[in-house]
Structure 1
Amino acid sequence: MDRRSFIKKSVGLALGLSLLSLPELASKASAATKWGKTRFRIEENDFWFAEEPSRRRETNRIIVHHTGTSQDRDMSAEQIHRLHRDSFGWAGIGYHYVIRKNGTIERGRGWNMIGAHASGNNSDSVGICVAGNFNVGSPTDAQIRSLTNLLTTLCGVYNLIPDEMGVIGHRDVNSTSCPGDMLYAMLPQVRKRVMKNMGLDLPEDE
């Protein structure tokens, strides 16, 4: 068995009864719970969208972004929502989650809705936006902790392997510098932390 097949099997076995089912996740989204010892809250929003997003039927990967503003500054989900809807003419915020500089996780689109964050790759993905420009600055420690915790829970909920296929940067699927050189360089270590949080061992490839 190769390493990815082993991990996929391990993720499925680990799920058991310890994770929320998707309907339960929907009803408890305001206090999104943890995998193992991972505990955090999601600040909920009730945004109005110019066009109601469609429901996502499958989730095969998580795509990490940065806001990429001219300066490395904080942005809220509400600010991004207004920018996307009122200035860009989109339905509303394209990301499912926004991680602020202080580590706060805010709701963007509904957890089960199709996002608008990676052209041609939205129908089966979750979009996480880390606030800042990581071509000129670095994520805060609080942001990396929150990103790790959120990825741990999402990978568990959606039965994803936190590897180079399951957790990717925006630049991996579109022609862009997003999520910035500094955050992108940190993704391998973030993936390892998520794997550790999930209690998954990495056998040697045969």
Structure 2
Amino acid sequence: MAPLGRAEMVRRIVEEGRPVAEVAAGFGVSERTARKWLGRSRKDGAAGLENRSSRPRSVANRTQDPWIDLMEKLRREYRLTAEEIAAKLRLSRSTVAAWLKRRGISRLKSLETPAPVVRYQRQRPGELLHLDIKKLARFERVGHRITGNRLGASANVGYDFFHVAIDDATKLAYVEVLPDERRQSTTGFLIRALRWFRARGIRGKRVMTDKGSGYVA
């Protein structure tokens, strides 16, 4: 319905005092629609009967991209705070803080360039051997995670110690399961590991270990 038709519909309701439902039916619209235009006419006059744009009058918290990029530049290059950026750009602090958070740069530590990962992997076989020990509990029977029965647990069964030697360059590994991690065991394991690698053409030159008791005793 055109604005002129809406004006006529409202006139008949207001000036002629005719029932809203009757006038609405005569114009082919619902009573609800007729009451909507009647309400707009009473509120805004003739302007209320014009077509309204579906575009919002304003968009909350809209900040143009150039401003956002400038905020990021001031933050990254000059390490300015949200308050300082807001003062320079004449924006509210909350707006600046919200966009810095959205860009993931609200915290100073997020501006730091991550340190490159330093790898010590050797290029030549045998140049470096890694030694490690993994302590694992022994089992006499299948555990409760399989059977669902916690009764009859394997008590005081002890542990096995997996001694591992890995060549840093080739990742070739030698493993033994020993009863402990004492100095005698670790020394014997190292000798056997070196022999094993040598039999495969790899001569161990350096060894890297953690600070386990078997290595520092």
TM-score, normalised with respect to structure 2: 0.23
Higher helix share: 2
Larger radius of gyration: 2
Of structures 1 and 2, the one scoring higher in RCO (CA 8 A, sep 6+) is 1
